[in-house]
């Protein structure tokens, strides 16, 4: 069995013909296996959705109860069969519930890793290396300049700024699902125990994280707060909100943004960010290359992001590599969570 | 070094002046001598390392990484030092490699870097830089490379850095600027004074720089609120704004200095002007003024605000000509002969130990007229007044300087300067006192042909545009490139052009994208520019000065863009205008 007879590209994305399912399809299909809850991977309107219980919960929060014809929850490590194809989900370390999908058929194993990272994150299960023949990797940060470093020191930068500018509000742009909760957890790990304020759009999903036993401390909605009371406080908001009229409710806000893109200065300046925080939920260059090697795969398929450099690296290591021209994943900012959760705030 | 790097990093993002000040002052407060002094030197541009060039950085990184990965990365990041800092291979890349730190040496301090580089030979530099890069973290590597290659560009003026230092002792920046020329890195005496531990340092520089006064651009709407009778108008000469200062040290030795508008000492680049700035025996009346002691010394003390120009056969040359005199490593006698330098005086700030800056401009101007007359040197003259009674008359003079008295020198005129008669000479850009009114730029419609990614802030956008105009070619009508524009558009327009470039790329050569440019498909750019000249280097035969995008003409089909003949006509009419006026 050749790998591309097991997984191939069609208009909806990656399709497993012998198993009759798509992985993270970008348009409605009969049966979809979804790696994680970010809106560019988890879309509504499929006949059946198979995913981890957390991913299904997150899709429900985002799209309502009838986001798919039927759903099937699969826990990490549990094997299911679709036709002759065996499927096992393994933790991807990206956000709560995120999974790599190991597809085995005719003695060939392909792992579609979705989005992943291989560093410690207290808000989700750690990445698991799954030995395979073909490894499908993302390349969001697939350039050697992307080294995310230690997130604790980035949070240290934020806290130092809060100390230097106690009369200013600190507004941290962060994606609602995953990044927000991770930044909060990192702040708590750094010993910051003051209340942290949240934009309405991230309230629901953050409460969901708390309901799954993830300790995030004292969280409060920013809505209804007096301007003066936000001085010296940390508020998290979706990236788009940190540059619009909504920010006028804050006293002289310091605009921060927690993202792997912040590693490149021009990207941060372009967005008018004053305090870039290099905190990413994707693997950096070191992570990507380390994981590719660790899977033992002889063939690498590179999906969304900076494919060229990663394909080049694979080839210099004697691996067969090809870019998969997948469209529809990751916006310009690569962390593609563009569809919010309801409960956003108006500009007025 | 890492601490200084953190400061630079944070400053590079912080837009607010007051917040920048807070950050720098906090750094000065928390950082011990002599590191903070060298930081002040770096921020005020007082350090330079002549051996470290961009090429060296390129060589260092090229020897360590895959060239293809480097090219892809550099194209993405858009900044050489930053790319090199990010890609620099370090042994402790993997997390948990903390044990390595026992073996490796601690990262260098800013003082280590500055003092080592001062004496380090060129041959030893690459290995030393590589050692430091191994020891520093990413931000440290970035800051080190920016520092040594002299490309800090973090939006900090020397004045802002001095203001931050002054704030450490609750002092005004003027107090620091007054004594600044006598200070040297690492400024131990300055910090001691600011922290109340020492005496105020004395400025022993005999010919100090005075902070320059600058003008605001005037809008049509401003004229309604201004009375023509309150103002004196002069030509705005298109040269280099300078301050020529002379003074005596305590031994009576005369010192003469030429400063740029930012206070940089550029005396060494213009040795041919120096004799003209010596007043020994130049004026009998002054020398005989023996009622005052040290009269001879006193008359050597002066400060002229003016413009450096190249004047050949009594005619002021355009900025293009002046530029050929600049940026030369060696000032040869041939260069000086071919590009004779001239000072055109605008203002007199000091005369014989009298600080004139508090006086109204009218009075300073009167003294300047006498001063220049007494100096009586062909290389130094007075910038003439432009006579006018109404704004209408002034507009006419601006539209045609040649006819309004500038004659053959009109090419070297950028516009009009308006100065309030009663204005004191104030440092910085005070509101409402000085205005500049530039000449109307020339405008043409051109077609976007090629695009390249920008650098720095714009590195992920196609923001450098090559544009062309139509001309008859062998195979019919064709576009010929006439210039490149990098600015003039808003951020929203940049996003739209970038999208257009990405969607309409016909070919890519390295970083350059060929953009669709056919008679009916393509993007028309309205280009404004300051001047035109013939150029053998350009295929089109013409070169533009300061081209910029004035407007995007999404509405206009490329076939309606301008033709090369239009530019050639502009060129001839400009030439005709100047020779005609000169006759
Ligand atoms: Zn994701």
ipTM at complex level: 0.88
Find the length of chain B.
583
| Closest by Cα among B152, B93, B173, B56 to A289 | B93
In this structure, are B356 and B500 located in the same domain? no
- Report the number of distinct structural domains present in chain B: 3
Give the distance, in angstroms, between the CA of residue A47 and the centroid of all CA atoms in the same chain: 24
Convert the pLDDT of each residue in A197-215 to its tens digit: 999 999 999 999 999 999 9
Which tokens in the block code for residue A116? 């992943």
Residues B470 and B383 in one domain: no
Looking at residue B512, its pLDDT comes to 84
d(CA B465, CA B487): 9
Residue B29 Cα to chain centre, angstroms:
30
Task: Determine the Cα–Cα distance for residues A172 and A235; give it in Å rounded to an integer.
Answer: 6
Q: Is residue A345 part of a domain?
A: no
- Torsions phi, psi of B566, nearest 5? -60, -45
Q: Which pair of structure tokens corresponds to residue B526? A: 């309205």
Q: How confident is the model at residue B571 (pLDDT cuts 50, 70, 90)?
A: confident
CATH number at residue A210: 3.40.50
Mean pLDDT, residues B60-88: 91
Q: How far is B99 from chain A (nearest CA, A)?
A: 16
Tell me the pLDDT band of A339, cut-offs 50, 70 and 90.
Answer: low
Q: Taking the mean position of all CA atoms in its chain, how far away is CA B436?
A: 17
Distance A310 CA to ligand 1 centre (A): 19
Q: What pLDDT sits at residue A335? A: 47
Residue B441: per-residue pLDDT: 64
Across the interface, which of A143, A268, A269 has its CB nearest the CB of B76?
A: A143
Cis upstream peptide for A48 (omega within 30°): no
Domain count for chain A: 2
Chain B positions in Cβ-Cβ contact with residue A272 (cut-off 8 Å): 15
Cα of A240 vs centre of ligand 1, distance in Å, is 17
Strand partners, B341: B310
Q: Please give the pLDDT value at position B55.
A: 86
Q: What is the CATH number of the domain that holds B348?
A: 3.30.470.30
One domain, residues A158 and A304: no
Instruction: List, for residues A36-59, the tens digit of each pLDDT value.
Output: 999 989 999 999 999 999 999 999
pLDDT of residue B299: 65
d(CA B393, CA B271): 40
Residue A207 sits in the same domain as residue A85: no
User: What pLDDT is attached to residue B108?
Assistant: 93
Short-list A260, A308, A299, CA closest to A283: A260
Q: Could you read off the pLDDT of B302-338 as tens digits, one per residue?
A: 999 999 999 998 899 987 788 778 767 788 888 999 9
Query: Do B253 and B387 share a structural domain?
Result: yes
The structure tokens listed for B53 are: 């060039």
Which residues lie below 8 Å from residue B155, measured CB to CB, with a gap of 6+?
Answer: B11, B12, B15, B20
Residues A161 and A216 in one domain: yes
What CA–CA distance (Å, rounded) separates A315 from A299? 10
Beta bridge partners of A70: A48
DSSP label at residue B563? B
The helix/strand/coil state of A302 is strand
Give just the sign of the alpha carbon dihedral A186, A192, A193, A194: negative
pLDDT band at A194 (very low <50, low <70, confident <90, very high): very high
Do A31 and A137 belong together in one domain? yes
Same domain, B222 and B349: yes
Residues B393 and B310 in one domain: yes
Compute how many other C-beta atoms are within 10 angstroms of the C-beta atom of residue A300.
23
- Answer yes or no: do B241 and B121 share one domain: no
The size of chain A, in residues, is: 348
A269-275 long-range contacts, CB within 8 A, separation 24+: A269/B12, A269/B13, A269/B456, A269/B457, A270/B457, A270/B458, A270/B460, A270/B461, A271/A239, A271/A243, A272/A243, A272/B15, A273/A173, A273/B13, A274/B13, A274/B14, A274/B15, A274/B19, A275/A157, A275/A158, A275/A161, A275/A170, A275/B10, A275/B13
B142 in a structural domain: yes
Q: Most B CBs within 10 Å: which of A126, A255, A265, as the mutation test of the B interface? A: A265
Q: Do A234 and A128 fall into the same domain?
A: no
Residues B374 and B523 in one domain: no
Is-contact A46 A28, C-beta < 8 A? yes
Residue B340 lies inside a defined structural domain of this protein: yes
Does A261 fall in a domain? yes
Per the CB < 8 A criterion, the answer to whether B146 and B169 are in contact is no
Residue at a domain's end among B382, B411, B438: B438
Residue B341 and residue B308 in contact, taking contact as beta carbons nearer than 8 Å: yes
Helix (H) or strand (E) holding B494: helix B491-503
List all residues of chain B from 123 to 152 with a beta carbon under 8 Å from chain A: 137-138
* In the predicted structure, residue B99 carries a pLDDT above the cut 50: no
What is the C-alpha to C-alpha distance for residues B528 and B440, in angstroms, rounded to an integer?
Answer: 9
Q: Given an 8 Å threshold on Cβ–Cβ distance, is B22 in contact with A274? A: no
* Domain limit, last residue, from B395, B422, B438: B438
In this predicted structure, what is the pLDDT of residue B532?
82
Residue B132 located in a structural domain: yes
Q: Note whether B17 and B74 are same-domain residues.
A: yes
B462, part of any domain = yes
- Say yes or no for a CB contact (<8 Å) between B76 and A164: no
Going by pLDDT thresholds of 50, 70 and 90, the confidence category of residue A242 is confident
How far the first Cα of chain B sits from its last, in Å, is 63
What pLDDT score does B53 carry?
Answer: 78
**Distance between start and end Cα atoms, chain A:** 59
Q: Concatenated DSSP letters for A77-109? A: T-EEEETTEEEEEEE-SSSTT-EEEEEEETTEE
Is residue B524 situated within a structural domain?
Answer: yes
Q: State how far the Cα of A129 lies from the Cα of A127, in Å rounded to an integer.
A: 7
If asked whether residues A81 and A179 sit together in one domain, one would say no
Report residue A217: phi and psi, to 5°: 75, -155
Mutate to test the interface with B, among A144, A173, A275 (most CBs of B within 10 A): A144
Query: Are A92 and A216 members of one domain?
Result: no
Residue A48 inside a domain? The answer is yes
- CA B41/CA B46 separation, integer angstroms: 5
Judge if A12 and A135 occupy the same domain: yes
Is A344 within a domain? no
Cβ contact A47:A12 at 8 Å: no
Element counts in chain B: helices (H) and strands (E) = 22, 21
**Is B323 found in the same domain as B450?**
no
Among the three residues B103, B125, B149, which one is the final residue of a domain in this structure? B149
Q: What is the CATH number of the domain that holds B102?
A: 1.10.3260.10
CA dihedral (A284, A285, A286, A289) positive or negative: positive
Same domain? B24 vs B76: yes
Chain centroid to CA B74: how far?
A: 26
Dist. CA B514–CA A18, nearest whole Å: 44
Claim to verify: residue B8 and residue B72 sit in the same structural domain: yes
- Partners of B73 on chain A (C-beta within 8 Å) are 143-145, 309
Reading the block at residue A304, the tokens are 């969304």
Q: CB of A271 within 8 Å of any CB in chain B?
A: no
Confirm if B83 and B70 have CB atoms less than 8 A apart: yes
pLDDT, position B491: 79
In angstroms, how far is CA B437 from the centroid of its own chain?
Answer: 19
More confident residue, B167 or B554: B167
How many other C-beta atoms can be found within 10 angstroms of the C-beta atom of residue B514? Answer: 16
Instruction: Give the structural domain span for B537.
Output: 442-573
Whether residue A347 lies inside any domain: the answer is: no
Task: Pull the structure tokens for residue A178.
Answer: 């995953």
Residue B219 φ/ψ, nearest 5 degrees: -105, 160
- Rounded Cα–Cα distance for residues A290 and A278 (Å): 20
Kindly state whether residue A342 falls inside one of the protein's structural domains.
no
The answer for A 117-146 residues in CB contact with B (under 8 A) is: 119, 143-146
Q: What is the pLDDT of residues A298-319, one digit of tens each?
A: 999 998 778 889 999 999 999 9
The tokens for A306 are 């900076």
Strand B476-485, strand B462-473: pairing: antiparallel
Q: How distant is the Cα of A309 from the closest Cα of chain B, in angstroms? A: 6
> Once rounded to an integer, what is the mean pLDDT over residues B106-130?
91
Read off the pLDDT of each residue in B493-518 and give the average, rounded to a whole number: 86
Strands A31-33 and A299-305: unpaired
B576 band by pLDDT with thresholds 50, 70 and 90: low
Task: Give the pair of three-digit tokens for residue A277.
Answer: 């925080």
Asked if residue B462 and residue B373 are part of one domain, the reply reads no
- Please give the residue that has the higher pLDDT: either B289 or B419: B419
Contacts of residue B449, defined as CB under 8 A and 6 or more positions apart, other chains included, come to B466, B467, B468, B479, B481, B514, B515, B517
Q: What is the pLDDT of residue B579?
A: 44
Give the CATH number of the domain where residue B554 resides.
2.40.50.140
pLDDT in the model for residue A340: 58
CB contact under 8 A, A147 and B66: no
The Cα-based distances of B400 to B54, B215, B238, B395, B396 in angstroms read: 44, 22, 16, 9, 6
In the predicted structure, residue B118 carries a pLDDT above the cut 90: no
Q: Which domain holds residue A162?
A: 151-277
Output the pTM of the full model: 0.65
In a domain, A96, yes or no: yes
Using 50, 70 and 90 to split pLDDT, how confident is the model at A98?
Answer: very high
Q: Which pLDDT band, with edges at 50, 70 and 90, does B285 fall under?
A: very low
Please indicate, yes or no, if residue A340 is contained in any of the structural domains.
Answer: no
The H-assigned helical ranges of B259-390 are 284-287, 295-298, 319-325, 333-338, 361-375
Q: Which residues are within 8 A (CB) of A112 and not within 5 positions of it... i.e. 6 or more apart?
A: A7, A14, A23, A24, A35, A100, A101, A103, A136
Closest by Cβ to B86, choosing from A145, A272, A309: A145
For the residues B135-162, what does the mean pLDDT come to? 86
Kindly state whether residue B483 falls inside one of the protein's structural domains: yes
Inter-residue contact B424 to B432 (CB < 8 Å): no
Whether residues A268 and A168 share a domain: the answer is yes
Residue A23 CA, ligand 1 centroid: distance in Å: 14
The owner of tokens 């305590």 is B250
Report yes or no: B239 at the A interface, CB cutoff 8 Å.
no
Which one of A118, A126, A142, A145 makes the best mutation probe of the B interface by having the most chain B beta carbons within 10 Å? A145
| Whether A164 and A138 share a structural domain | no
Residue at a domain's end among A277, A295, A323? A277
pLDDT given at position B46? 81
In terms of phi and psi (left: phi > 0; alpha: psi -120 to 50; beta: otherwise), the region of B4 is alpha
Q: Is residue B449 part of a domain?
A: yes
B177-B178-B184-B188 Cα dihedral, nearest 10 degrees: -90
> pLDDT of B77-91, one tens digit each?
888 999 999 999 986
Asked if A248 and A285 sit in the same domain, the reply is no
Same structural domain for residues A157 and A130? no
């Amino acid at each position: 069995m050749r790998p591309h007879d097991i997984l191939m590209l069609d208009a909806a994305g990656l399709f497993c013909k012998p198993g009759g399912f798509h992985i993270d399809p970008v348009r409605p299909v009969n049966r979809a296996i979804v790696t994680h809850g970010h809106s560019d991977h988890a879309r509504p309107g499929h006949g059946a959705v198979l995913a981890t219980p957390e991913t299904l919960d997150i899709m429900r929060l985002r799209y309502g109860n009838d986001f798919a014809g039927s759903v099937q929850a699969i826990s990490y490590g549990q094997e299911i069969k679709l036709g002759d194809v065996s499927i096992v989900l393994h933790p991807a370390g990206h956000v709560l519930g995120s999974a790599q999908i190991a597809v085995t058929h005719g003695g060939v194993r392909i792992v579609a890793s979705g989005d992943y990272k291989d560093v410690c994150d207290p808000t989700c299960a750690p990445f698991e290396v799954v030995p395979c023949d073909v490894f499908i990797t993302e390349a969001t940060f697939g350039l050697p300049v992307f080294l995310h470093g230690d997130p604790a020191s980035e949070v240290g930068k934020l806290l130092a700024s809060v100390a230097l500018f106690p009369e200013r509000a600190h507004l941290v742009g962060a994606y609602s699902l995953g990044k927000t909760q991770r930044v909060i957890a990192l702040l708590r790990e750094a010993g910051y125990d003051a209340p942290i304020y949240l934009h309405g759009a991230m309230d629901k999903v953050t409460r969901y994280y708390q309901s799954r036993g993830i300790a995030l401390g004292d969280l409060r909605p920013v809505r209804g707060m007096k301007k003066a009371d936000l001085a010296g406080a940390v508020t998290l908001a979706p990236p788009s909100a940190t540059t619009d009229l909504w920010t006028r409710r804050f006293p002289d806000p310091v605009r921060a943004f927690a993202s792997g893109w912040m590693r490149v200065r021009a990207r941060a300046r372009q967005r008018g960010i004053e305090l870039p925080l290099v905190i990413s939920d994707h693997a950096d260059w070191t992570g990507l290359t380390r994981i590719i090697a660790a899977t033992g795969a002889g063939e690498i398929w590179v999906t969304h992001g900076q494919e060229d450099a990663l394909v080049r690296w694979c080839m210099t290591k004697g691996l067969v590599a090809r870019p998969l021209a997948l469209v529809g994943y990751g916006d310009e900012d690569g962390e593609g969570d563009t569809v919010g959760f309801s409960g956003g705030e108006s500009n007025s | 070094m890492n601490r200084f790097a953190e400061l630079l990093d944070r400053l590079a993002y912080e837009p607010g002046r007051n917040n920048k000040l807070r950050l720098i002052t906090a750094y000065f407060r928390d950082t011990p001598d002599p590191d903070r002094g060298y930081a002040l030197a770096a921020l005020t541009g007082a350090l330079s390392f002549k051996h470290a060039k961009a090429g060296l950085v390129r060589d260092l990184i090229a020897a360590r990484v895959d060239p293809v990965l480097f090219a892809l990365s550099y194209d993405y990041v858009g900044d050489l030092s930053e790319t090199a800092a990010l890609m620099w291979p370090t042994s402790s890349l993997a997390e948990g490699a903390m044990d390595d730190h026992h073996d490796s040496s601690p990262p260098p301090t800013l003082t280590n870097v500055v003092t080592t580089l001062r004496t380090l030979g060129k041959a030893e530099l690459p290995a030393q830089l590589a050692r430091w890069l191994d020891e520093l973290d990413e931000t440290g590597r970035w800051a080190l490379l920016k520092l040594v290659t002299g490309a800090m560009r973090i939006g900090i003026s020397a004045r802002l850095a001095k203001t931050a230092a002054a704030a450490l002792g609750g002092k005004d920046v003027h107090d620091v600027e007054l004594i600044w020329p006598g200070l040297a890195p690492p400024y131990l005496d300055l910090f001691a004074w600011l922290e109340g531990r020492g005496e105020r340092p004395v400025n022993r520089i005999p010919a100090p720089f005075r902070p320059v006064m600058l003008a605001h651009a005037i809008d049509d709407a401003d004229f309604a609120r201004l009375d023509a009778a309150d103002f004196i108008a002069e030509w705005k000469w298109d040269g280099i704004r300078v301050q020529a200062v002379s003074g005596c040290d305590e031994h009576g030795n005369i010192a003469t200095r030429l400063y740029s508008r930012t206070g940089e000492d550029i005396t060494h680049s213009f040795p041919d002007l120096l004799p003209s700035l010596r007043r020994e025996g130049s004026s009998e009346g002054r020398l005989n003024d023996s009622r005052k002691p040290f009269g001879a010394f006193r008359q050597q003390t002066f400060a002229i605000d003016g413009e450096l120009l190249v004047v050949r056969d009594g005619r002021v040359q355009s900025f293009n000509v002046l530029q050929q005199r600049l940026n030369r490593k060696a000032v040869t006698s041939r260069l000086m002969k071919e590009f004779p330098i001239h000072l055109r005086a605008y203002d007199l700030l000091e005369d014989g130990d009298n600080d004139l800056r508090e006086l109204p401009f009218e009075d300073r101007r009167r003294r300047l007229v006498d001063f220049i007359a007494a100096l009586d040197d062909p290389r130094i003259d007075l910038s003439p007044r432009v006579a006018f009674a109404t704004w209408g008359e002034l507009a006419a003079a601006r539209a045609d300087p040649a006819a309004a008295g500038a004659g053959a020198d009109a090419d070297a005129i950028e516009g009009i300067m308006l100065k309030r008669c009663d204005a004191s000479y104030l440092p910085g850009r005070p509101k409402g006192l000085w205005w500049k009114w530039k000449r109307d730029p020339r405008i043409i419609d051109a077609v976007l042909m090629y695009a390249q990614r920008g650098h720095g802030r714009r590195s992920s956008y196609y923001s450098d545009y090559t544009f062309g105009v139509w001309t008859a070619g062998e195979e019919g009508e064709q576009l010929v490139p006439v210039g490149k524009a990098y600015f003039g558009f808003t951020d929203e327009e940049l996003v739209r052009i970038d999208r257009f470039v990405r969607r309409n790329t016909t070919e890519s050569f390295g970083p350059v994208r060929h953009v669709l440019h056919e008679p009916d498909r393509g993007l028309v750019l309205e280009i404004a520019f300051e001047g035109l000249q013939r150029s053998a280097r350009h295929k089109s035969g013409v070169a533009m000065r300061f081209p910029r995008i004035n407007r995007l003409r999404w509405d206009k089909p490329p076939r309606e863009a301008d033709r090369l003949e239009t530019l050639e006509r502009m060129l001839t009419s400009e030439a005709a205008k100047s020779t005609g006026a000169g006759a």
